[in-house]
Structure formats: structure tokens, C-alpha cells
Amino acid sequence: MRERIYYEINEQSARSAHEMMSFRDYKEGSLTAEYKGYVDEAYDLADKVAESRPKEADRVYGIADRYSKKMAANLNDRSRIGCMCPSVMICGPANFPVKKKEKQNAASDRNYQEFQEIQKMLNRIRSIGNGKGIIKSGDVDAVERLEKKLNGLKELQEKMKAANAYYRKNKTLDGCPVLTQEQIDSLKEKMQKDWHYEDKPFATYQLSNNNAEIHRIEGRLKKLRAAKTEGNTESENEYFRIVENTEIMRLQLFFDGKPEAEVRDILKKNGFRWSRKNNCWQRQLTDNARYSLERVKKSWRS
């Protein structure tokens, strides 16, 4: 375990933003508590990874440190945006600055999108912790494993929605049919924390992030299935033979003999690496790889 890095939260700005939106008193230090709740989750994940995979410790703690800094900036920016314009409930409808409110709403949307992107850093830490579970497009069973992962994500999404609906109806998680008792106890403990500001067990960002991951996996599966269906394709020019190898998802360049040093530098700069096993220069088969191939060809002609 390493020392946790926390950044300053502007409580004065947080109080002002709260007072421009609500008649309720602001609880001093509540935004700082919310911030520390987020950051502690990142460091807790990093601690687990460091314990199980010590070689990855520097990497995951580096991500947690950056997460802490980005979250402080995001939450402070949220307060700043909250001070841009009062709620109509606070200032009344007479001469209400509609355009200023529209700008505030747009800024708030951007801030929340940034918040969602920052939360993805937690998934990066989790992925490193589950290094053996990383699915590469070139894996023989990549489609099957991605389908299994997708089904798991969809089940989780439905479970979170069902748990939130149960809590909304019953105002308790006790007896929730989609959760184990251990999960219920864990969620109840988290909901008592100062930083858990939404009155539901699973936060909006958790549902949003998981849904985004579902769409990402679906898109990846669609491309992978299309490539597998199309099969290998080959073409040739006066310099090398090009193979789009969909079995291992690699774009391969075959030369007659060893390329000159200058040519090898061009290949390396464009992401191609020598494969002794396949006796060719190759990189993962993606649209970016195809663009890189065009740059290689252009460099050759110039």
C-alpha cells in the first residue's frame, strides 16, 4: 500500500453552488467527503492489484494518482459551473437569465461527460488486475469470450436496474431478489457514506459506464465477426505481399529477403514489428493498421 494523494476541494465554491440551487443548508465538507470516496475506491482497487500482481504496482498507482487529480479538477469545475446561474426556484421567474442558464446547462453536460470518462480509469485498474482475462482480437476464441463478457455486462446492467427499482419502491434493499445478502450488506454500507449522494444503490455513472462498455463490446464483436466471415485477403505490389490474416487478426507484410535499414525504420514507425514465427512484418488488423500501410506505401514512393 502506498500513500494516497488527495487534492484540495474548493468548499467555498461548493457551498456557493449549493446555495444557488437549494434552500437546504450545505453540509460543510460534503464535497470533500464525496471526492475522497471516489478516490479511495481507486486506491482500494490499486491496493488489490498491487497485492496480487506486484509488477503492476507502479502502473496502477500511477493511474490512481492521475484519477485523484482529475476528479478534484472535475468536482471543482462542477462547483464553478453551479455558480454561473441560480435556479429559477432561488431567484424567481422575473427577468430570469435564460441564455445564461442554457450556457450553464451545456457546461454541466460537458462536465458530466468528463466525469464519465474519468470513471473509466477505474476499469483500467480492474483490467490490469485481471490481466489474464484480456481478450485479444487474434485469440482463436476471441468471439466466444467477447460474447460471454457481453452477456455478463448485460446481466449486470439488468441487476443494477432491478436493484435500483426495488429500492425506489421499498426504500430498502432487504429482501431484494437479484442480490445476495453479502451484496446487500456491502451496498447498504456504501450508501451510508457521505460521498454517496444519490438515493439509490447503484449510481447513475455506474449504469452509464456499464452501458457504454456494452456498446463498445458490441461494436468490437460486429467488426470481428465481419472480418472472420470475410476470411483472409491478399494483394501484392512491387515491394511486398500484403495479407489481411483474419485467423489471427494481423495485417502482414511479406518481403523477399530482409528489407534495408531505412525500410525497417519506416515499418517500425508505423507500428509494424518483425514476427519470427510468421516470417513477416505485422501488426494488429485494424482500420488504423490499414492507414499505416498507406503511409508505408507513400513513404516508399516519395
- 21-57 pLDDT, tens digit per residue, is 877 888 888 899 889 989 998 999 999 999 988 888 9
Instruction: Report d(CA 202, CA 166) in Å as an integer.
Output: 11
- For residue 70, the Cα-to-chain-centroid distance in whole angstroms is 14
Residue 137 phi, psi dihedral angles, 5° rounding: -60, -25
Q: What is the pTM of this model?
A: 0.57
Average pLDDT for residues 131-152, to the nearest whole number? 78
Average pLDDT for residues 106-116, to the nearest whole number? 90
pLDDT at 92: 64
In this prediction, what percent of the chain has a pLDDT beyond 90? 48
Average pLDDT for residues 274-285, to the nearest whole number? 92
Residues 6+ apart with CB under 8 A from 228: 143, 246
Strands 250-254 and 273-275: unpaired
pLDDT at 56: 87
Q: Is residue 291 pLDDT above 70, yes or no?
A: yes
pLDDT at 230: 77
pLDDT at 302: 61
pLDDT at 105: 87
Work out the pLDDT band at 229, boundaries 50, 70, 90.
Answer: confident
Instruction: Report d(CA 118, CA 66) in Å as an integer.
Output: 9
Q: Is residue 65 pLDDT above 90, yes or no?
A: yes
pLDDT at 22: 79
List, as one string, the DSSP characters of the chain: --PPP-----HHHHHHHHHTT-SSPP-TTHHHHHHHHHHHHHHHHHHHHHHH-GGGHHHHHHHHHHHHHHHHHHHHHHHHHHTSS--HHHH-STT--HHHHHHHHHHHHHHHHHHHHHHHHHHHHHHHHTGGGPPPTTSTTHHHHHHHHHHHHHHHHHHHHHHHHHHHHHSS-TT-TTS-HHHHHHHHHHHTSTT--SSSSS-HHHHHHHHHHHHHHHHHHHHHHHHHHH--EEEE-SS-EEEEETTTTEEEEE-SSPPPHHHHHHHHHTT-EEETTTTEEEEE-SHHHHHHHHHHHHHHH-
pLDDT at 195: 58
Cβ atoms of residues 121 and 66 within 8 Å: yes
Average pLDDT for residues 54-77, to the nearest whole number? 94
The C-alpha angle with vertex 191 and arms to 186 and 196, in degrees rounded to 5, equals 130
Work out the pLDDT band at 238, boundaries 50, 70, 90.
Answer: confident
- Looking at per-residue pLDDT, the higher value among 5 and 124 belongs to 5
pLDDT at 175: 95
pLDDT at 25: 85
Mean pLDDT, the chain, whole residue set: 88
Q: Which residues of 61-96 are buried (b: 16+ CB within 10 A; e: fewer)?
A: bebbbebbebbbebbbbbbbbbbbbbeeeeeeeeee
